[in-house]
Structure 1
Amino acid sequence: MSESLPTLSQASAANNAKPQGIAVFSGGSAANNLVDVFKSIRESNRCTLSYVIPISDNGGSSSELIRVFGGPGIGDVRSRLVRLIPDDPDHDDSEKAAIKVFFNHRLPKERFNAKQEWLQIIEADHALWANISTAKKELIRSILNLINFEILKRLRPSSTFDFSSASIGNLFLTGARLFTGSFESAIYLLSSICSVPSHTSVLPAINTNFTHHISAGLADGTKITGQNSISHPSVTTALENSVIPSQHEETEYHDGIEDANLPGSLPTLRKQYISFSKADEEDLPARIERLWYINPYGQEIRLAANPRVLEALGDAQAVIYSIGSLYTSIIPSLILRGVGEAIANPSIRFRILVLNSTNDRETGPRSHPFSALDFVAAIAKACAESRGTVGVASSLAKSEYKSYVTHLIHLKGPGTPRVDKEELAELGIQTINVYGRRIEGEEFVRYDNMALIQALQALLGKRDPRERSRRNTLDST
């Protein structure tokens, strides 16, 4: 028997229902540590969960994929999809575990060894294929063979693909995008293989087949181009051993390389940034004041957000800004057209910033690190810029910050950003101090998952009364 259609009154009630979803703005590796926290909050609220991920990363092995194929920076999207593979403690699901290992696997750093291992994988002669069913194995392998064919097609005397440290998951996602012609379809395919639940979505901030880069402006007038240069500069991998004495000659040099870059585009956006380290980073010469998108020639452009991101925000009761690099993981998603207005909509009851446990290169320099208020201001100004012009954002009154941040969750301990509870309270922003934990060998405090879950559940009103609260977990003002 077919299902009966809803009555008019039922449809009206559904349309007028309060938004219940949760939208999380985050990047990749740092926020992956909180996936179980957000999963628990979603389950207790019985709602949808959407992760909004930027696509502007041009560092690591993604830089080689962008150089040869163009397209968005996909590393953080792949990382989140694979992290969302469900763990079932009651069942020994060896295939899911094998798929997680497979898509997280990186080839060796040494170029020759990387190429040899890649050939083993696409020829199905590698231990990574163990415990993956034949159906999924052949589907995955067909996409990997496609990307391998596309790499061979683009082979030129001036340009060969470097497999060093390449992520198998990134290669798969790029191959799926090239095969379908759709980034969204590629994400759907990888989500299906990874068994990501239908109630949880991973949404690229921009749904695009093109490469989009960012630039940052510092307080001293310095401009930094490209996410890799902003967040974790690395020594570039030269395609040839040449000394490039000037930018003009460098541009001509790269124009002679046949890859996916347009002639005359900025050299800094065309290089390989395969090797980098997030440790021992140098301070920026001054604070970052603003972030914007650029075209390949360095000119500022305004871009619209992925319509599915705006749809998720329209269905959300809560927005969470997760931990991670402020200016390269969070802000790139907020400055897109439509996002600021959607976040400021009164239907969103909670706009929660989970404050980083420490400052990094983007929120320094160490002599003048960001405070909690500085984090809030950066988010509010990015959202305001999304709604209008640069001038509107730069003149944004502090009283408007609460339109974009209503609650701030933070830690106490060595190196944590300073939190002025009284000043934030005057702005209408509630602060919540939660319990942290220290890992041996680390100099900073980490969030305790259970403490963070309890804090978020208390805010959203769905806390399970059967759970025992951590002592001294909440210190709300």
Structure 2
Amino acid sequence: MGEQLVVISGGTASNSLVNLFQSLSPKTTYILPVSDNGGSTSEILRVLGGPAIGDLRSRITRLIPDGGGFKELLSYRLSEDSEEAKHEWTQIVEGQHEIWNNLEIQCKEMVRSFLIHVHMELLKKSRNPSTNFKYEMASIGNLLLTGIRLFVGSLDSAIELVLRMTRVSPNIKILPCLNTNYTYHISAQLNNGEVITGQSQISHPNEPISTIMSSSTSVHKIYDPVALHENHEDVPYQHPDLAKSQLHFSKEVNQPLNSPIDKIFYINPYGEEIHPQANSRAIQDINDSKAIIYSIGSLMTSTIPVLILKGIGMSIFKSKSPKILLLNGNHDRETSGLDAFDFILTICKAVNYSISDEAVKLNYTDIITHLMFMENPEIKVRQDDIEAVGIKCIKVSKDPMLGDDLKIYDSNDLQQKLLSIVNQ
């Protein structure tokens, strides 16, 4: 086994545990999805294309050392008012906004050059009203990462430059599950036959669930791009469900799906299932891992999009390190009604899906060796059934400082129990 701790999960939930993860190993790799099409990311995808970088930016920001102004810069969002947002953006590009005050002059000019670059790309797109960028609530960190990616031509390189620029420890890697300059979307097929297209539409839809594509509109249906985009020739074709704005949504809305999710898969612009190859650096780090942690977060739209990529399943199998599922404290819209064994089955199904050789079928313990769950869990844990398939169950205390409604792990207890597994 190597020294590298590998953490698989995106989103904000795992951000709260990064300091704990760093304490488990001298080196840590975070592998994150690039399929989130909600919020301000949706505007970048709509106008400029490229991979979704919201989860990547969020993790980088969480890891930036305090002081120096970079954390505040990458966290900053423009006003919710469209006119005020445009005014703020102009001030930032011209170097006159107060957000620059805490940044050293040489860092300011380096960052500003990439923001000017993305600004010019947005201006080019503004010639067509249908690709006019909406600046309200735009993330400066997302725009910076996009500007660097457009300039250097590589998502991996853009992330590495931001990590070095912001003085994140060189022992930490942040890897996109796909190293790509293209947009990748996911769909969810429900047990009742419905197909929901787009990560935001699965987890935080703008519209009532009843309006989302039903089984009568098959995942293989071909749409007319000319009719969809009204002859705007410079607008790339998009699946109709993905052409809808996802700028405004609420994470507080948690309406259950009409039916449990049977399958998550990647799609091309026409909604057809595809099988992308995972980032080679992610595969290598899993192979050489000291331990693999499937972290807390959205199971279906944060963890599974990493696990279903080609190459990931075999790398998990080849790794002889502990493989730990850190169970969520609460259900979300995607997992309503599932118990802990269902979480395990979902992960195992996804990992086996990623393996193109149908003759290879991994066992439970090839994929998960330990389940860690919170005392008095909201998500039911059938401990006897789980241990019957060889997975060890470990109960972790709840944070004693919080009320009963908040399901948060006690960090000290979680750290000690993870250390005992990682160092065994």
TM surpasses 0.5? yes
Q: Deviations over 1:395-423 (max 9, x none)?
A: x68xx11110000111023x621111111
Change in CA separation of 1:323 and 1:275 when aligned onto 2, cut-off 3 Å:
same
Secondary structure of the corresponding residue to residue 304 of structure 1: coil
Q: What corresponds to 1:382 in structure 2?
A: 350
Q: What corresponds to 1:444 in structure 2?
A: 406
Q: For the Cα contact (< 8 Å) 2:296–2:326, is it kept in 1?
A: yes
Is 1:213 aligned to 2:188, yes or no? no
Map 1:196-235 to 2 at 5 A: 196-235=168-207
Secondary structure of the corresponding residue to residue 215 of structure 1: strand
Q: Deviations over 1:140-187 (max 9, x none)?
A: 001001111111111113331101110000000111111111111211
Secondary structure of the corresponding residue to residue 182 of structure 2: coil
Is 1:291 aligned to 2:264, yes or no? yes
Alpha-carbon distance, 1:251 to partner: 6.8
Displacement over 3 Å in runs of 4+: 247-251, 255-260, 438-442
Q: What corresponds to 1:126 in structure 2?
A: 97
1:32 to 3, 15, 18: 15
Q: Deviations over 1:65-119 (max 9, x none)?
A: 00111100000011111111135xxxxxx31xx2101101111111111111111
Alpha-carbon distance, 1:256 to partner: 3.7
Q: For the Cα contact (< 8 Å) 1:23–1:316, is it kept in 2?
A: yes
Is 1:454 aligned to 2:416, yes or no? yes
Q: Deviations over 1:322-374 (max 9, x none)?
A: 000001100000000110111011x422000000001111101xxxx111100
Alpha-carbon distance, 1:22 to partner: 1.0
Equivalent residues, number: 410
1:435 to 383, 397, 400: 397
Map 1:315-394 to 2 at 5 A: 315-345=288-318, 347-364=319-336, 369-388=337-356
Q: For the Cα contact (< 8 Å) 1:235–1:275, is it kept in 2?
A: no
Change in CA separation of 1:454 and 1:68 when aligned onto 2, cut-off 3 Å:
same
TM-score normalised according to structure 2 size:
0.92
Alpha-carbon distance, 1:254 to partner: 2.6
Q: What corresponds to 1:168 in structure 2?
A: 140
Secondary structure of the corresponding residue to residue 417 of structure 2: helix
Alpha-carbon distance, 1:459 to partner: 1.1
Q: For the Cα contact (< 8 Å) 1:230–1:362, is it kept in 2?
A: yes
Secondary structure of the corresponding residue to residue 241 of structure 2: helix
Q: For the Cα contact (< 8 Å) 1:72–1:210, is it kept in 2?
A: yes
Alpha-carbon distance, 1:261 to partner: 2.4
AA matched with 1:285: N
AA matched with 2:315: A
Q: For the Cα contact (< 8 Å) 2:70–2:103, is it kept in 1?
A: yes
AA matched with 2:202: I
AA matched with 2:365: K
Map 1:395-474 to 2 at 5 A: 400-413=363-376, 416-437=378-399, 443-461=405-423
AA matched with 2:103: I
Q: What corresponds to 2:218 in structure 1?
A: none
AA matched with 2:266: Y
Cα-Cα RMSD: 2.1
Change in CA separation of 1:448 and 1:257 when aligned onto 2, cut-off 3 Å:
farther
Q: For the Cα contact (< 8 Å) 2:308–2:354, is it kept in 1?
A: yes
CA distance in 2, matches of 1:439, 1:118: 41
Secondary structure of the corresponding residue to residue 24 of structure 2: helix
Q: What corresponds to 2:38 in structure 1?
A: 59
Q: For the Cα contact (< 8 Å) 2:204–2:253, is it kept in 1?
A: no
- Note the residue ranges of structure 2 that are not aligned, 5 or more in a row: 209-221
Q: What corresponds to 2:215 in structure 1?
A: none
Secondary structure of the corresponding residue to residue 361 of structure 1: coil
Q: What corresponds to 2:119 in structure 1?
A: 148
CA distance in 2, matches of 1:160, 1:178: 18
Q: For the Cα contact (< 8 Å) 1:107–1:165, is it kept in 2?
A: yes
AA matched with 1:22: L
AA matched with 1:153: K
Q: What corresponds to 1:272 in structure 2?
A: 245
Alpha-carbon distance, 1:52 to partner: 0.3
Q: What corresponds to 2:229 in structure 1?
A: 254
CA distance in 1, matches of 2:398, 2:262: 30
CA distance in 2, matches of 1:203, 1:83: 15
Q: What corresponds to 2:217 in structure 1?
A: none
Q: For the Cα contact (< 8 Å) 2:399–2:411, is it kept in 1?
A: no
Q: For the Cα contact (< 8 Å) 1:321–1:352, is it kept in 2?
A: yes
1:82 to 53, 61, 74: 61
Is 1:110 aligned to 2:81, yes or no? yes
Q: For the Cα contact (< 8 Å) 1:438–1:445, is it kept in 2?
A: no
CA distance in 1, matches of 2:271, 2:303: 21
CA distance in 2, matches of 1:260, 1:455: 52
CA distance in 1, matches of 2:233, 2:105: 38
Q: For the Cα contact (< 8 Å) 2:186–2:267, is it kept in 1?
A: yes
Change in CA separation of 1:252 and 1:418 when aligned onto 2, cut-off 3 Å:
same
Change in CA separation of 1:379 and 1:418 when aligned onto 2, cut-off 3 Å:
same
TM-score normalised according to structure 1 size:
0.82
Q: What corresponds to 2:286 in structure 1?
A: 313
Alpha-carbon distance, 1:452 to partner: 1.1
Secondary structure of the corresponding residue to residue 436 of structure 1: coil
Q: Deviations over 1:205-254 (max 9, x none)?
A: 00000001101111111111110111110159xxxxxxxxxx96897243
CA distance in 2, matches of 1:284, 1:152: 39
CA distance in 2, matches of 1:227, 1:330: 12
AA matched with 2:269: P
